[in-house]
Amino acid sequence: MTGDGWNQGHRNRQHVLETVYLKRHNEKFSVKPLADFDSHHPVGSLDLDATLSIQVKRVCTNDFTFSLDCRKFQIARENDLHGLPRNKLLIEKRLDGTIKARFNGRYLVIKEIDSTKKA
């Protein structure tokens, strides 16, 4: 089939999908709402970035670091570090590629460190 014939066939399939199949599908499966008002709840103060992130638990080491995906992160001294070593952190791998760490519901300031450097 030539390119022009393929395009014509594609347009015909698209037309059948939109006019025949979807009409039958909607007639069979659509449900009328019980009420006329919008019953969706507002998002409010929900943090969608945190909700949609991949969340994993990691243990904070004695030198206030944790590892994730072969990378090492340092927890900054400006955080309240009391009780942090040997406790679990909730690490969020967010959709935009950023990494966030939480301890007891608070976000911590973290920085990726180069694990190839030797002290």
Per-residue model confidence (pLDDT) at position 43? 76
- Residue 65 belongs to some domain of the structure: yes
pLDDT at 115: 66
**Same domain membership, residue 57 and residue 101:** yes
Instruction: Note whether 56 and 88 are within 8 A (CB).
Output: no
Full-model pTM: 0.63
Q: What pLDDT does residue 33 have?
A: 83
Residue 73 pLDDT > 90? yes
Mean pLDDT to the nearest integer, 45-59:
93
- Decide if 44 is inside a domain: no
Structural domain boundaries enclosing 20: 1-29
Number of folded domains in the chain? Answer: 2
Same-domain check for residues 53 and 17: no
Q: Are residues 13 and 57 in the same domain?
A: no
Q: What are 4-39's pLDDT values in tens digits? A: 555 676 778 888 888 889 989 999 999 888 888 887
Asked if residue 81 belongs to a domain, the reply is yes
Question: Could you tell me if 23 and 54 lie in one domain?
Answer: no
Interacting residues of 54 by C-beta distance below 8 A, sequence separation 6+: 92, 93
Q: In this structure, is residue 119 part of a structural domain?
A: no
